[in-house]
Structure 1
């Protein structure tokens, strides 16, 4: 076996062979995930599939029970999948240092970093907040939020960011000005949530009325991808002030129809304790109906619902039984580290006006810690598995439901219709000794991809959250990718080869040296070459038959003559038999 111009040390499954050349090509095990720094700051900003990422540090927003990612009923995270591109996008709101704008950042797999934040509100100092995000199959981003400074003060706005990859890089252009999609009617309209069906139907729901004086649930929708809007209307009108608090709507679309489901919480039964409600929109008739999902049976209110709709058109809801003893009609009990807290429950719809009796969710941790679960967020996989994220304290007391130590993010999955729980573990990495730092309001992607739907290693949910020291700003925004908790493909025997795969170089952008990793399943004749953007060969890194295994090679930024090449975008191509894959490097001199 021989590689031209390359010294190779290859470790095979069945033995070791030595090859000749100038640079080392090394066999390597699969890289394991790493955790974040205990300080809460990660210098390298590593790829999402490899470890916890610091998306952006030092956001000047957040305080007791608040966060730049308020609140998890409205998704602050989405995945974009179009062509060969697959990446997460995260949003958050800011304080005066950023003009109270709301921002977004996406993971750039070509350059291996989170993009510098861009505003989708451009509000010139007028308060914006409580945003939501969705993406369509073209990779375009859709945003909604509430914004002050209007005749009725807070109103609902919408805009899009259009994806352009024609230059070979990810570029977004935000459409401005934003569209006003609620109404000037003497009432504030706040706390929107949004869902999208296909590329055309966009539904936004929101509260009508000021906080704790809400009178109705409003909505507006577009049938042409956000170009025009049908007009603001009403989902549910209580005929007076809706009894309850922390009324945060959660929305999901039926993947088989254009119908929508919305979850809410208020005292429907009139017994002084909040219930969980579901509102169904029939797309064919543009009509809404309301069902009672769960009646609270004590003075502990049901609240903070997270709704998803599975691929059998069945809605599922995870909600919280809050520990307040006031019924929750004037406020929910909160921890200043995690927001509203309580015991989580799960239910799903059995039929018309018929929902499963709520099942208690108990993670395999100390029981008292489960009683202190923070605001849940839910996602749905194509096998109908329900994923959720929440916060839990390091320890808690069963006597007084007090929480101690720091709060970390945890996630789990629920098997559809059975309620069987699989615990995914702790997601964030704050050590027990650091009890002044806490996570708050984790968001999980609504759609959880499985198997061949996405690139290798990317199945499973993405999760974003914020961390604050002593529960005050500045806050740091984080992201991580978590694996699925049950097998999504057949288990391979140890002798089965891995597929051919070319990985993104690291680091990227590259200075002086960068590592390129690839996998070949058998004795393929392979070549790995560097090209400039015009397609001219710059450097041959590998050429020959290395044998089955995973390898990496280091490029030092030089051409075949040993001269340093100018900075810029370069291409590297792996060829193995009929397989060809090309990726991009940004070289910085």
Structure 2
């Protein structure tokens, strides 16, 4: 009995300690009104920019903006940036470029009898104030992305609910491109929910796909190759047709991690060759999800889960690298909407809309500091217990990579070129503690010889990494 009591107390203290890592939520909007969704971004000066939409009437909604220069503790007064008096604006998303210019995309509904329609709309702040909103095309679910060259992409969905496709246009050097429809097929449904850009300006997109356009929507991954200016073949993440929302993030090796909601919260990642099987993270009745990956490779997931008419915002991570741990970050008497993550200076920022009663609510921000240090002793134990070397080095025909692990864990051993691009995966499996040796004969994933030069062999054990150099001289 004493052991049971001790275990319960230990779990309570552990949960409280985890919850205390999050600062007390700060009210961003201070409106206590009918707010539906929100988003935020952090620019290169550390200024936080937040947007949300406020519904005044069924046919009238406004996009508001506020900013914070002290880590989200104090905020400017809300400013209307949609500049409309009789239209309905909703679903805002905000991004910034390397010059700290701000771009806000949203859906604009025009309910007037003559000009009725839904339009993908963008409004820009180049530093001197917000410009006039620009309607790009008929469409909804407006999403934005900015690459390293400050090319600004605007995506939207057009067509019937079960028979349509995503389109996009980009702004570069002050000029708008033509409109592109990558997968124009009347028998399919394609859509994009979230977009991230890698170091090579490729776009990684999480969305949905239905090959029959018959309400069998599946979670999907889309990739745009910047060098060829073309789209790869659509990757179906799961045959599960219960997907309701989806998000994507990249790790330090530019591999995508996807989290999606439906009957529960699911997580998949790409290991350089294949997508993993879906890992069930959260509880049933998932409404909104968000994912991010920190510089140590640690995965962070937020999910809105409803239990007994109470909205719970739950934070998931894997402190031991194997099992998901959960912490309730916020609760609401009615609903919690649209959680959004962003990692900045080793802190995890989380913005969400919370409501204790129907029709009223506000946007809140909380923050989790010292992300990398929260890995715990387990990871430092793994790192200190890992040993790896190769011989010969340099090598001509083959080299043997020898390593040892002192704790059973998930292990990935891969070769990358000097630019960090993936070449070949040698091991991707759960290994017991032991000594291992594997040969590399200087080939890539397709079995073709690689050019001579400097390469990196990278050992990942759960979320710890060791990287060493290797010279190939055939």
1:253 to 197, 210, 213: 197
When residues 270 and 196 of structure 1 are mapped into structure 2, their CA distance, relative to the original with a 3 A threshold, is closer
Cα offset, 1:178, TM superposition: 2.3
1:77 to 16, 32, 40: 40
Alignment equivalent of 1:360, drawn from 255, 280, 288: 280
Aligned to 1:231, what secondary structure does the other structure show? Answer: coil
CA distance in 1, matches of 2:116, 2:97: 31
Give, in whole Å, the separation in 2 of the partners of 1:248 and 1:286: 18
- Kept in 2, the 8 Å contact 1:59–1:95? The answer is no
Tell me if the contact between 2:267 and 2:281 (Cα under 8 Å) persists in the aligned partners: yes
Task: Report the CA distance shift for 1:88/1:127 in structure 2 as closer, same or farther (over 3 A).
Answer: same
Between Structure 1 and Structure 2, how many residues are aligned? 358
Q: Could you say which structure has the greater relative contact order, defined with CA pairs below 8 angstroms and 6 or more residues apart?
A: 1
Which residue does 1:345 correspond to in 2?
266
Alignment of 1:213-224 (within 5 A): 213-224=162-173
Using the TM superposition, give the Cα deviation of residue 54 of structure 1 relative to its aligned residue in structure 2, in angstroms.
Answer: 0.8
Larger deviation, residues 233-242 vs 120-129:
233-242
* SS of 1:487 mapped into structure 2: helix
Question: 1-side partners of 2:102 and 2:33: how far apart?
Answer: 24
CA distance in 2, matches of 1:138, 1:349: 31
Larger Cα Rg: Structure 1 or Structure 2?
1
Counterpart of 1:234 in structure 2 is 181
Alignment partner, residue 391 of structure 1: 304
Alignment equivalent of 1:316, drawn from 250, 253, 257: 257
Q: Return the offset for 1:308.
A: 1.5
> Matched residues in 2 for 1:302 and 1:110: separation?
34
Equivalent residue for 1:380? 293
Secondary structure at the aligned position of 1:121 is classed as coil
Q: CA deviation at 1:423?
A: 3.3
Check 1:58–1:373 CA distance in 2 against 1; reply closer, same or farther (3 A cut). Answer: same
Query: Structure 1 or 2: larger strand share?
Result: 2
Deviation at 1:461, TM superposition (A): 1.5
Quick check: 1:391–1:410 contact (8 Å CA) kept in 2? yes
Deviations 1:252-275 (A, max 9, x none): 111x21110112123337896332
> Of the candidates 482, 506, 509, which is equivalent to residue 368 of structure 2?
482
Q: Which residue of structure 2 lines up, in the alignment, with residue 52 of structure 1?
A: 25
CA displacement at 1:490 relative to structure 2: 11
Q: 2:142 aligned with 1:173, yes or no? A: no
Task: Report the counterpart of residue 441 of structure 1 in structure 2.
Answer: 338
Partner of 1:134: 95
Q: CA deviation at 1:215?
A: 1.3
Report the Cα offset of residue 466 of structure 1: 1.4
Cα distance in 2 between the residues matched to 1:262 and 1:482? 26
In 2, Cα distance between equivalents of 1:77 and 1:357: 31
Give the 3 Å change call, closer, same or farther, for CA 234–141 of structure 1 in structure 2: same
Deviations 1:100-159 (A, max 9, x none): 221111114399521111122212321111111112333322111121239561111222
Q: 2:119 aligns with which of 155, 171, 181?
A: 155
Distance 1:290 1:355 in 2: 14
* CA gap 1:270/1:114 in 2 versus in 1, 3 angstroms: closer
Q: Structure 2 vs 1, CA of residues 61 and 350 (structure 1 numbering), >3 Å: closer, same or farther?
A: same
- The answer for the alignment partner of 1:409 in structure 2 is 313
Aligned equivalents of 1:51 and 1:486: distance in 2?
Answer: 21
For the pair 1:286 / 2:229, whether they are aligned, the reply is: yes
Structure 1 position 90, deviation (Å): 1.6
Contact map agreement 1:77 1:133 (CA 8 A) in 2: yes
Structure 2 spans left out of the alignment, 5+ residues: 1-15, 378-474
User: Residue 218 of structure 2 is aligned with which of 264, 275, 288?
Assistant: 275
Q: Give the match for residue 86 of structure 2.
A: 125
User: For 1:410-443, what per-residue CA distance to the aligned partner results, in whole angstroms no more than 9, with x for missing partners?
Assistant: 212369xx9735536222155xxxxx43322222
Q: Is the 8 A contact 1:309 1:380 kept in 2?
A: yes
Does the aligned pair in 2 maintain the 1:275–1:292 contact within 8 Å? no
Equivalent residues of 1:181, 1:231 under 8 A apart? no
Secondary structure in structure 2 of the residue aligned to 1:205: strand
Provide the residue aligned with 1:90 in structure 2. 50
> CA separation in 1, counterparts of 2:288 and 2:179?
29
Distance in structure 1 (CA, Å) of the matches to 2:347 and 2:255: 21
Tell me, in whole angstroms, the C-alpha distance in 2 between the residues paired with 1:469 and 1:388.
23
From 55, 67, 70, the equivalent of 1:109 is 70
Q: State the superposition RMSD in angstroms.
A: 3.4
TM-fit CA distance, 1:384: 3.3
Task: State the 1:216 CA deviation.
Answer: 1.0
Q: 1:408·1:429 contact (CA, 8 Å) conserved in 2?
A: yes
Q: Is the 8 A contact 1:59 1:94 kept in 2?
A: no
> Alignment partner of 1:109: what SS?
coil
* Alpha-carbon distance between aligned partners in 1 of 2:67 and 2:222, rounded to the nearest angstrom: 32
Deviation at 1:488, TM superposition (A): 7.0
2: CA distance between counterparts of 1:252 and 1:437? 31
Specify whether residues 229 and 486 from structure 1 end up closer, same or farther in structure 2 by C-alpha distance, changes over 3 A only: same
Q: Is the 8 A contact 1:275 1:303 kept in 2?
A: no
Q: Is the 8 A contact 1:260 1:280 kept in 2?
A: yes
Name the TM-score, length of structure 2 as normaliser: 0.67
| Residue deviations 1:40-61 (CA, integer Å, cap 9, x gap) | xxxxxxxx98521011233543
Assess if the C-alpha contact under 8 Å between 1:414 and 1:421 holds in 2: yes
Residues 462 and 350 of structure 1: is their aligned pair in 2 closer, same or farther, counting only changes over 3 Å?
same
Cα distance in 2 for partners of 1:240, 1:120 equals 38
Cα distance 1:110–1:384, how it changes in 2: closer, same or farther (>3 A)? closer
TM-score by length of 1: 0.55
Distance verdict in 2 for CA 1:50–1:215, change over 3 Å: closer
Closer/same/farther in 2, CA of residues 404 and 88 from structure 1, 3 Å limit: same
